Amino acid sequence: AQSVTQLDSQVPVFEEAPVELRCNYSSSVSVYLFWYVQYPNQGLQLLLKYLSGSTLVKGINGFEAEFNKSQTSFHLRKPSVHISDTAEYFCAVSDLKGGSNYKLTFGKGTLLTVNP
């Protein structure tokens, strides 16, 4: 079974500051890793994903994440945040079933609040 721990439930930052949202996962098998963003009263939008290959993954809106297998981490970073980045961010891992990703296991989320 997989599990995901998002180490910070809330992260307040000032506009144009850098930010890192931390995610650790636990799994006995290979997994895919994802970061999703959820704006108020909306569904989930994929920011980026790690499937294999390069451990540094770039996504939309200037976000990037680094996969660290030895530390079982997949931290999300952005060098300079904007007010519009205020949202809930979820880290997720997927089972692999029959060669295609199966259910997603999510962390509890990190609320990023960007202040002016």
Partner 1 sequence: ETGVTQSPTHLIKTRGQQVTLRCSSQSGHNTVSWYQQALGQGPQFIFQYYREEENGRGNFPPRFSGLQFPNYSSELNVNALELDDSALYLCASKGQGGTEAFFGQGTRLTVV
Q: Indicate the SS3 state at residue 60.
A: helix
Q: Which residues have CB under 8 Å from 28's CB, separation 6+?
A: none
Question: Applying CB under 8 A, which of residues 8, 15, 24, 32 lies at the interface with partner 1?
Answer: 32
Part in contact with partner 1 (CB under 8 A); list of ranges 18-26, 58-66, 75-83, 95-103: 95-103
Using CB under 8 A, which residues numbered 64 to 93 contact partner 1? 90, 92
Euclidean distance between CA atoms 82 and 5, whole angstroms = 25
Could you list the residues that contact partner 1 (CB under 8 A)? 4, 32, 36, 41-46, 49, 51, 90, 92, 97, 100-109
